[in-house]
Structure 1
Amino acid sequence: MCISVFMWQSHPLYPFLLLLNRDEYHNRPTKPVGWWECGEILGGKDEVAGGTWLACSKQGKVAFLTNVLELHTLPEAKSRGDLVIRFLESNKSPKAFAEELVEEGNQYNGFNLIVADLASKCMVHVSNRPKGEPVSIQEVLPGIHVLSNATLNSPWPKAERLEQNFKLQVDQYGEGEIPVEEMVEKLMRDRVKADESKLPNICSPDWELDLSSIFVEVDTPLGKYGTRSTAALTVKGSGETSFYEVYLGGDVWKQHTLNYHIQKL
């Protein structure tokens, strides 16, 4: 499970600003954010399935995804993390890429995928849920949005909490520079759990309660599960791009920042 909040084409300095928590088993082999072998893609890497949850390219494309919370999943399903890489490696627009997924949506477990091209100012949300319905494609309008483990902007307690707190922070800094490292600490490490009466009632109540905070940390029979990295991706109108990550390296929290410039902007 993951959660993200992002600001799209609605700030005078930042056409795009994203904060994202990645939740996963702590013992799952993962590479921190870095440039991939091709030299064109920047993101973390799931070393089990080979894909990623968030990445961007030198050409100004961005993609990220979250899983949909559901009771039953298909063990033989294709890896959702491949979708992010496929978009970044393609020459297709966000909408054209989304339409390509219509025929193959049932080959994946539930996902929410955001694909964007900063140069053309186009962003699209794609989801293969609810199960049994056609893949949905929705253009993302300018503004602040939250994506958790239901569809875009679903009013889950932690999504509403994150959106509200994010808006307060953005308003505080106005039209100037936003200190994203400070925002990460204030917003993305929030361990407050939801009221049990507001849980979605999809899985067991105990599991949903454990997942109901923005920052997740829970012991399971398979090992510790929860937030193992937080990313802050910012793009300025000048093309200046910064990818800040706080991540678990073994049992130690580490951080680093990678900067580059998108020429097309």
Structure 2
Amino acid sequence: MCLLFFKFDPNPPPDGFRLILVSNRDEYLDRPTKPADWWPNNQNILSGVDLQQGKEGGTWLGITKSGRLATLLNILEPEVDPNAKGRGALISNFLKGNEECLPYLQEISKEGELYNAFNLLVFDLSRQNSQQAIGYYSNKTGLEPQLVTPGTHGFCNATISKPWKKCVVGQEKFGSVVNGATTGEKEKLMDALIEMMSDTTPYPDQSIHRQCAGTLSPKLQQERSAICVRSLDENYGSRTHTIILIDATDEVTYLEKTLEEPIPTDEKDLKWITNRYSFNLEMENPGL
């Protein structure tokens, strides 16, 4: 389970941002993960990497030097198919390829039933046509892949038409944080985004109850209704915060704050690792 907010402005002011994106990765605490870094076998791709046996090499969020970006959020279901195709490759295949957003998602939709439920977002930030820069597909809605318009958006572990309360509340908070953000206050912006994504306030939601159909206890439902999930006694929580900023000059700032493994079950013993990368997009089609 994860949470994602982003603002895309194809024509920002000189001191503004084309993209402001922030994400929480909610996952089991004993699932081995490689912190964000350039891939050893492909120095064009930057992401964290799943190291779980049988799922090695997958990721939940990544970006390339050429401006391709992809992220996937699972959709909560009462049961999952252990034999379903792995979803991590849906991101890595986009990052390694050069297909446009909508055609890529249309190909995936042809076999969408082979995967457990997901929300998938793909970005091609080198595109001159900003209306085709972002694509979205979910195999849970029955709808065809669609393009996402510029603006502010939020996604969670529910379908786009029925967002959880924490997503609605979080999007409002996100909008307040990023409104008028400038590169001169980049550090202040990132601090505010991390603080926002660290909110453990429960936002009770019957949608979570309906989606889990009794597989989560009332206690777990309440804990997972928070923007930042803390279910340490259940070996689960928001273990990684990621921020991606792209300014008007195509400079990328990628910041990941992730829990150091092995992750303890006592909150006072948690230790965070921060990884930060800066680079300029290698634009094939500069300017939007």
Alignment partners' CA distance in 2, 1:96 and 1:225: 35
Question: Which one of 14, 18, 21 corresponds to residue 15 of structure 1?
Answer: 18
Tell me how many residue pairs correspond in the alignment: 260
- Find the residue that maps to 2:174 and give its secondary structure: helix
Q: Secondary structure at the match of 1:226?
A: strand
Q: State the 1:184 CA deviation.
A: 2.8
The unaligned stretches of length 5 or more in structure 1 are none
- Secondary structure, aligned partner of 1:235: strand
1: CA distance, partners of 2:185 / 2:137 = 31
Q: TM-score if structure 2 supplies the norm length?
A: 0.84
Deviations along 1:143-190, one digit per CA (max 9) or x if unpaired, are 100010112364311001111111111236478644343123321000
The 3-state SS of whatever aligns with 1:39 is strand
The runs of at least 4 consecutive aligned structure 1 residues that moved more than 6 Å come to none
Secondary structure, aligned partner of 2:225 = coil
The corresponding residue for 1:6 is 6
Aligned to 1:256: 275
- Per the alignment, residue 137 of structure 1 pairs with 145
Q: Provide the C-alpha distance between the structure 1 equivalents of 2:227 and 2:247, rounded to a whole number of angstroms.
A: 26
1:107 matches 2:120: no
- C-alpha distance in 1, partners of 2:209/2:37? 35
Seq. identity, %: 32
Please tell me the residue identity of whatever aligns with 2:48.
G
Moved more, 104-113 or 249-258: 249-258
- RMSD of the TM alignment (CA)? 1.9
Q: Distance in 1 between matches of 2:173 and 2:159?
A: 20
State the match for 2:154 in structure 1. 146
Q: Which position in structure 1 is the counterpart of 2:125?
A: 118
Query: How far, CA to CA, are the matches of 1:153 and 1:187 in structure 2?
Result: 23
TM-score when normalising by structure 1 = 0.91
Q: 1:128 aligns with which of 139, 147, 162?
A: 139
**Match in the other structure for 1:236:** 247
* Aligned counterpart, 2:197: 188
Change (3 A) 1:115 1:31: same
Structure 2 residue runs without a partner (length 5+): 264-270
How many angstroms apart in 2 are the aligned matches of 1:83 and 1:260? 24
The verdict on how the C-alpha distance between 1:169 and 1:25 changes in structure 2, with shifts beyond 3 A counting, is: same
Distance of aligned partners of 1:154 and 1:176 in 2 relative to their CA distance in 1, 3 Å threshold: farther
Q: Quote the residue 1:168 is aligned against.
A: 176
Classify 1:59/1:214 alpha carbon distance in 2 versus 1 (closer, same or farther; 3 Å).
same
Deviation string, structure 1 residues 192-237 (Cα, Å, up to 9, x no partner):
11235564522135232221101001145xx510111000001112
